[in-house]
Amino acid sequence: MVQQKTLAMKWLFLGSLITNTGISLIWPLTTIYMHEYLGEPLTVAGIVLFANSMFMVIGNSFGGWLFDHWQPYGTVLAGIGLNLFATGMLIFFHGWPAYPLLLVVSGLGSGITTTAINSYATRIQNKRPSVVFNILYFTSNLGLVIGTLIVGFVLPYGIGVVFALATGLFALFLVVALLHYRIDKVAIATATTQTVSGERNPAKPRLVMLMVTSFVTWLMYEQWQSNISAFMLGEGLTIKDYSFLWTINALLIVLFQPILTAFDRWLLQHIRLRLIGGFVLFAGSFLLLLNGSGQYITFIVAMIVLTMGEVLALPAVSTYVTLFTPLAQQGRYQGLIQGFASAGRALGPLLGAMVIEGTGSYQLLFVGATGLILLAALGFAFSVRQSIPALNDPLHQVTHQQS
> For the chain, how are helix, strand and coil distributed in percent, rounded to 5?
80, 0, 20
Quote the domain boundaries for residue 180: 9-189
Cβ(268)–Cβ(130) under 8 Å? yes
pLDDT score of 28: 67
Q: How many CB atoms lie within 10 A of CB 344?
A: 21
26 and 173 within one domain: yes
Distances (CA, A) of 208 to 12, 276, 337, 340: 27, 15, 9, 10
**Based on the structure, what is the number of domains in the chain?**
2
pLDDT score of 400: 41
Helices (H), 25-97: 30-32, 42-69, 72-92
**CA–CA gap between residue 377 and residue 167 (Å, rounded):** 40
Helices (H) and strands (E) in the chain, counts: 17, 0
Domain of 343, CATH number, reads 1.20.1250.20
233 and 147 within one domain: no
Question: What is the 8-class DSSP label of residue 282?
Answer: H
212 and 178 within one domain: no
Which residue type is seen at 305?
Answer: V
Cβ(245)–Cβ(255) under 8 Å? no
pTM of the model as a whole: 0.75
324 and 289 within one domain: yes
**Length of the chain, in residues:** 403
Cβ(221)–Cβ(282) under 8 Å? yes
143 and 21 within one domain: yes
Q: DSSP 3-state assignment of 222?
A: helix
295 and 360 within one domain: yes
- Give the end of a domain, one of 158, 189, 220: 189
**CA–CA gap between residue 25 and residue 8 (Å, rounded):** 27
pLDDT score of 205: 79
Mean pLDDT for each consecutive 10-residue tract of the chain (403 residues)?
68 92 80 75 75 87 86 92 94 88 92 90 79 84 81 82 93 94 60 41 75 93 82 80 81 83 85 93 92 80 94 88 80 83 84 83 91 93 62 41 32
Which residue type is seen at 125?
Answer: Q
pLDDT score of 286: 93
**CA–CA gap between residue 116 and residue 63 (Å, rounded):** 6
175 and 221 within one domain: no
Q: By C-alpha distance, which of 269, 374, 348 is closest to 316?
A: 269
pLDDT score of 215: 94
Q: By C-alpha distance, which of 292, 262, 77 is closest to 170?
A: 77
* Residues pairing with 402 in the sheet: 191
